[in-house]
Amino acid sequence: MTQTLQILQVVLFAIPTLTLLGIGAAILLRSVSIVDRRVFLGVFIPLLLANTLSILQSETRLQMNWRAWLILVADLALIAGAVWASRGFQVYGLKADDVERILGEALVKQGFAVDIHSGEARDLWGRVREARFLTAHTDQQKQSFSITPRFNEVLLRGDHRRDERYLRQALPVLKGQQVPYDFKAHTVGVLYIILALVFAVLAWIFFFEPRLILTE
């Protein structure tokens, strides 16, 4: 049982590193990159599960006390929160005005009437940012999206999960834009690669190196 848990921990520590490397490479290699925010679940959820497994491994015969149960409940709550907050797409290589124009044109071609207005959007941490709100509607349906410029990226979200189905249909149009490659617009990719290396080093220091010392 202990060996199985250790193998699972190794796998769970490796997933965030590989996920961050993949995100960084995708941002750097394409002139227009779009990252589904659900990909970041591959960073957070494995770490939370690894924490849960460490509790199971440390408890003798899996006899859980109230502290262990509290940590498990907190991990599950954090996983649920991460899934809820993972809606939307991060766009690199295009400015917010370009995303607004291209998305609006794509929706008009699908038969929607499009209204655009400025406002403020609040992120997960409570920070308020200037944003553009795009509402697409017909006689039968209505979808609303927000376009929020951030540092070297544009956050594109639907007001509801059903709205993001229409966003997915417009993503190929955004990806297909022929724009000059500007490295400054993709420097976030370097940050993700550095974070991946940091995760790899920390995993070595806190997980692998102590076990190698104990086996010598």
**Residue 215 has what pLDDT?**
46
pLDDT at 62: 47
State the 10-residue block means of pLDDT for the chain, 216 residues long. Answer: 70 88 91 89 85 64 64 81 82 88 83 79 68 80 83 84 77 83 86 90 68 46
Phi-psi region of 10 (alpha: psi -120 to 50; beta: other; left: phi over 0): alpha
pLDDT number for residue 23? 93
pLDDT of residue 24: 93
The pLDDT score that the predictor gives to residue 78 is 82
Question: What does the alpha-carbon distance between residue 189 and residue 41 come to, in Å, rounded to a whole number?
Answer: 17
pLDDT value at residue 214: 43
Q: Tell me what pLDDT residue 1 has.
A: 55
Long-range CB contact pairs, 38-45, < 8 A, 24+: 38/86, 38/87, 40/82, 40/86, 41/82, 41/83, 41/86, 42/15, 42/16, 42/18, 43/15, 43/16, 43/19, 44/16, 44/78, 44/79, 44/82, 45/79, 45/82
Give the C-alpha separation, 143 to 52, whole Å: 39
